[in-house]
C-alpha cells in the first residue's frame, strides 16, 4: 500500500515558474491516479502490496508476468512523482559544493550539465523523464519513456524533470522548452545533495 504524499509546499509556491493549476492537476489527479492504480492492482497480493513502488521498480520480476507491465507503469508513476515534488523548491537553493564537485568532474561545469540535461529533456520523444543519475560513482544524464525509472537499470536518481505534457500544457501549451527553462529556476539542489549522501 502506497500513500499519496502531500506536496511539500503550497500548490502556488512555485509560481510563476510552475503554476498552481498545473500543480493541483498534476498532484491531485495524475499522481493520485498512479497511486490508486498501483494499490488496486496489488490489492489481492499482500506480499507485493507490502513492497514500496521503489522495490518493485528495482526488481519487477517479483510481479506475475501477466500484469507486470501495468504494475511497473503505475509504480513508476507513483515513485517518479513522489520524487519530483521534492526536486522542486520555492527556496531555489544553489547547487551545493559536494554536488558541484561531481558535476564539474563528470560534465566540466554546471552550464554544460544544464545544457545537456535540458537538451535531453527537450528532445525526448513523447512522454517521459530526463534524469541525472549516479552509477558506480559516475554521474550521467539519461532519459526514460512513459513512467520507466532508472531504478530498473540499477541506477540511482539524483534529479529528474517530468516532460509529460500534463506537467506543462496548461501554462506553456506545446512550448516544452519554455517550461524547462522555467523549471530550472526551482530545482531543489538540497534534495540532490541529500540523495547523493544517501547513496554513498
Dist. CA 184–CA 118, nearest whole Å = 9
Minimum distance from residue 74 beta carbon to Fe ion (Å): 13
Query: Which residues make Cβ contacts (< 8 Å) with residue 44, sequence separation at least 6?
Result: none
* Among 143, 137, 133, 149, CA closest to 192: 133
Minimum distance from residue 13 beta carbon to Fe ion (Å): 18
Dist. CA 128–CA 130, nearest whole Å = 7
Minimum distance from residue 118 beta carbon to Fe ion (Å): 17
Kindly identify the residues of this chain, within the stretch 157-196, that bind Fe ion according to CB under 5 A. Answer: 162, 164, 167
Dist. CA 136–CA 191, nearest whole Å = 20
Minimum distance from residue 178 beta carbon to Fe ion (Å): 17
Binding-residue pattern over the window 104 to 143 for Fe ion, x denoting contact by CB under 5 A: ----------------------------------------
Measured from the CB atom, is 143 or 162 closer to Fe ion? 162
Measured from the CB atom, is 162 or 191 closer to Fe ion? 162
Minimum distance from residue 30 beta carbon to Fe ion (Å): 5
Measured from the CB atom, is 14 or 167 closer to Fe ion? 167
The neighbouring-strand residues paired with 138 are 135
Residue whose beta carbon is closest to Fe ion: 162
Query: Which residues make Cβ contacts (< 8 Å) with residue 77, sequence separation at least 6?
Result: 30, 31, 33, 34, 35, 37, 38, 147
Residues that bind Fe ion (CB under 5 A): 162, 164, 167
Amino acid at each position: 500500500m502506497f500513500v499519496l504524499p502531500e506536496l511539500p509546499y503550497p500548490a502556488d509556491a512555485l509560481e510563476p515558474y510552475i503554476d498552481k493549476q498545473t500543480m493541483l492537476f498534476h498532484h491531485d489527479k495524475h499522481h493520485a491516479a498512479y497511486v490508486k492504480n498501483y494499490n488496486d492492482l496489488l490489492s489481492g497480493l499482500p506480499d507485493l502490496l507490502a513492497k514500496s513502488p521503489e522495490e518493485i521498480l528495482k526488481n519487477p520480476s517479483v510481479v506475475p508476468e501477466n500484469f507486470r507491465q501495468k504494475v511497473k507503469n503505475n509504480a513508476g508513476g507513483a515513485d517518479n512523482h513522489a520524487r519530483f515534488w521534492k526536486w522542486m523548491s520555492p527556496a531555489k537553493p544553489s547547487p551545493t559544493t559536494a554536488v558541484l564537485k561531481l558535476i564539474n568532474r563528470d560534465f566540466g561545469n554546471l552550464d554544460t550539465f544544464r545544457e545537456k540535461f535540458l537538451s535531453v529533456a527537450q528532445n525526448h520523444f513523447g512522454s517521459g523523464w530526463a534524469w541525472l543519475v549516479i552509477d558506480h560513482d559516475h554521474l550521467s544524464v539519461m532519459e526514460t519513456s512513459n513512467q520507466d525509472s532508472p531504478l530498473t537499470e540499477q541506477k540511482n536518481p539524483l534529479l529528474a524533470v517530468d516532460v509529460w505534457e500534463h506537467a506543462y500544457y496548461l501554462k506553456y501549451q506545446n512550448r516544452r522548452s519554455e517550461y524547462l527553462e522555467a523549471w530550472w529556476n526551482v530545482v531543489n539542489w538540497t534534495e540532490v545533495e541529500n540523495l547523493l549522501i544517501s547513496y554513498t
